[in-house]
Chains A and B, each alone.
Chain A
Amino acid sequence: MPEPTITLNVSRYRPPDERVPTSQVYTIPYRPDWVVLDALNYIKDQVDGSLSFRWSCRMGVCGSCGMMINGEAKLTCSVFLRDYHPREILVEPLENFPVIKDLVIDMSDFLDKLKIVKPWIIRETEKPTSEGEYLQTPEEMDAYMGFSACINCLLCYAACPIFGVETDFIGPAALALGYRYNQDSRDEGSNMRWNVINDHHGTWQCTFVGECSVVCPKDVDPAAAIQRLKVDTAKHWIRSVLLPWGKRA
């Protein structure tokens, strides 16, 4: 019996000589327990060493290997060939991002957005470590824990048509991270995040398509974070207009 095979149709882009993406078809042995990433590694190791893609942990936590698989944003380490076989698998770089090479996207813009939401604990006074931890009950943790699970894989950006049209939109992952710190009982810095979150490119640019939460491999639910931020920013604005003397929202 001939060995079963599977076909991958992979997007290639090789600047400076090639200035538009092309696609290349690879037919390789089919193994039901392989994920798409295994197939890409098989191609790189045995068929075509020039294929470029990012990967690292192969266990769905480093966030490197996001790509479009048959048009859906996926972590390639977490989707199995058996879910597609015997159909062909279309592998493309994450949508809505500029492409550097083959399946490698430029995510430097996301790193800038991550920084502007100030994703760190801001406090008016720091407690010395010698005085121990900031107490935080499990219920207080629940308020932000789900939003702290983001692995920065950018699938949510690839699934967001708003970001596709307007790349200046801060976007799901970065806004969710801002919300995560706002919700943390240890943090006192939400006032310093409002101007960014309330910005034209902040929460209000989101028209709630909701796909970010659908594709999120870690159930972070950025769509919920953004909608709640809208309510919070609205409350903050009302307070700042009605109570200009109020110190904190």
Chain B
Amino acid sequence: MIRPDKSLLYYPRMPATWWLRKWSYFLFIVREFSSLFIAAYLVLFLVQLYQLGNGAAAYSTFTNSLKSPGWIVFHAVVLVFAVYHSVTWFYTTSIVIPLRIGGKEIPRAAFTAINIAAWIAVSAVVFGLYLLQ
């Protein structure tokens, strides 16, 4: 194959702010970023499990410390990112697994909606069990 002389080509560079140029790029970066918050929550969760192993008193001290405004804000922020991440996850699922009913692929939005509805239902059951407790 004949190729151009590389020394005569102009190589454009991607600016560091590329993700601000398009809404879709921004949402992508937010989605990637949301993993950090979820990871941070998982670390907290591991600490919580560790404290559970240290006995009821230690665990109670630990859970009480989580009632501080700072931790509540932390949980609220994590919740927002977790919800956003989950929604994108369900959307991606609809792309990865084409669902066919009667030989026809069902619309992705519908599949995503079904997923999200199921997710809300499961969440409601979990929440209900918590209330019954």
Contact = CB atoms under 8 A, between A and B. Distances in A.
A28 interface: no
A224 B1 CA distance: 31
A108 interface: yes
Interface string B22-35: 10110010001000
Contacts, number: 66
Contact size range, A: 20 to 34
Contacts of A224: 95-96, 98
Interface string B1-31: 1011010111110100011011011001000
A227 B14 contact: no
Given A165-B14, A209-B28, A108 B3 contact: yes
A228 interface: yes
29 contacts: A15-B10, A20-B10, A95-B12, A98-B4, A98-B6, A98-B11, A99-B10, A99-B12, A100-B8, A100-B9, A106-B3, A106-B4, A108-B1, A108-B3, A108-B4, A161-B18, A161-B25, A161-B28, A164-B14, A165-B14, A208-B92, A209-B28, A210-B24, A211-B24, A214-B24, A221-B95, A224-B96, A227-B96, A228-B96
Interface of A: 13, 15-16, 19-21, 71, 95-100, 106, 108, 111, 139, 161, 164-165, 207-211, 214, 221, 223-224, 227-228, 230-231
